[in-house]
């Protein structure tokens, strides 16, 4: 099963920059990725649910992939893509989470032509622990597609998002066991 979520929801816009709203971009990215997936193997967040409500509803198992989508934000010169995994998965570079995160980063960097900032541990995010990465799923990755605050990142994303999201869907399918 693939559990895919848009990171933010109706009452939580996420980052806002240059006229872009993170929530709208992540919802769109999620919806486009799902078009390339087999719907009977997909569970997604509902846009009226808070992240906590979604996390409590889902019960991902060993063979599942949990994938949460975000955009980064920073000063106008900051750019690139990165992925977060939980501390245990980060410590084991052979873990499926680390491998999938690495593949998502490399795919994004190649297709968008932006910097690969690499795979990071949850404790290097704004939070010491990221709930959605610790639900017991076989694979758990949080993807920061690119910087919403970077004009160039966003130009590249909007130009190439269909290619990018199709390839990302293929990566998710590869790591899903059942």
Complex with Zn ion: residue 81 or 95, whichever CB lies closer: 81
| Nearest distance in Å: CB 156, Zn ion | 19
Question: Which range touches Zn ion (CB under 5 A), out of 62-70, 124-132, 151-159, 168-176?
Answer: 62-70
Tell me the number of residues near Zn ion by CB under 5 A. Answer: 3
Cα gap 127→124, rounded to integer Å: 8
Taking alpha carbons only, the member of 105, 114, 104 closest to residue 147 is 114
Write the DSSP assignment of 4-25 as a string of letters: EE-S-BTTB---EETTEEHHHH
Q: How far is the CB of 146 from Zn ion (least distance, A)?
A: 12
15: Cβ–Cβ under 8 A, 6 or more apart, which residues? 22, 71, 72, 73, 148, 149
Residue 14 binds to Zn ion (criterion: CB under 5 A): yes
Would you state the torsion angle of the CA atoms of residues 108, 113, 114, 119, taken in this order, to the nearest 10 degrees?
Answer: 30
Q: Which is nearer to Zn ion, 96 or 141 (CB)?
A: 141
Residue range at the interface with Zn ion (CB under 5 A); choices 11-19, 83-91, 92-100, 106-114: 11-19
Closer of 84 and 98 to Zn ion (Cβ): 84
Residue with tokens 């501390």: 87
Interaction between residue 130 and Zn ion (CB under 5 A): no
Q: Which one of 23, 70, 99, 161 is in contact with Zn ion (CB under 5 A)?
A: 70
- Minimum Å gap between C-beta 20 and Zn ion is 12
Name the CA radius of gyration of the chain, rounded: 15
Instruction: By CB under 5 A, tell whether 23 contacts Zn ion.
Output: no
Q: In the complex, what is the shortest distance from the CB of residue 115 to Zn ion, in angstroms, rounded to a whole number?
A: 19
| d(C-alpha 84, C-alpha 78), whole Å | 18
Work out whether 7 is an interface residue with Zn ion (CB under 5 A).
yes
- Tokens 């599942």 locate to 64
Contacts to Zn ion by CB under 5 A: 7, 14, 70
């Amino acid at each position: 099963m693939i559990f895919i979520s848009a990171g933010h929801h109706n009452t939580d816009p996420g980052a806002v920059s240059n006229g872009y709203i993170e929530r709208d971009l992540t919802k769109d990215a999620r919806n486009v990725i799902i078009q390339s997936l087999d719907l009977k193997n997909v569970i997604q967040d509902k846009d009226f649910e808070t992240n906590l409500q979604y996390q409590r509803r889902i019960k991902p198992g060993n063979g599942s992939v949990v994938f949460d989508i975000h955009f980064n934000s920073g000063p106008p010169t900051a750019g690139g893509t990165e992925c977060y995994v939980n501390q245990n998965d980060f410590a084991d570079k052979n873990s499926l989470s680390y491998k999938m995160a690495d593949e998502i980063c490399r795919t994004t960097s190649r297709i968008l032509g932006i910097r690969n900032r690499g795979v990071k541990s949850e404790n290097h995010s704004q939070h010491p622990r990221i709930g959605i990465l610790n639900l017991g799923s076989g694979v758990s990755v949080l993807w920061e597609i690119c910087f919403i605050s970077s004009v160039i990142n966003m130009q590249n994303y909007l130009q190439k998002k269909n290619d990018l999201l199709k390839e990302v869907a293929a990566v998710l399918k590869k790591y899903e066991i059942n």
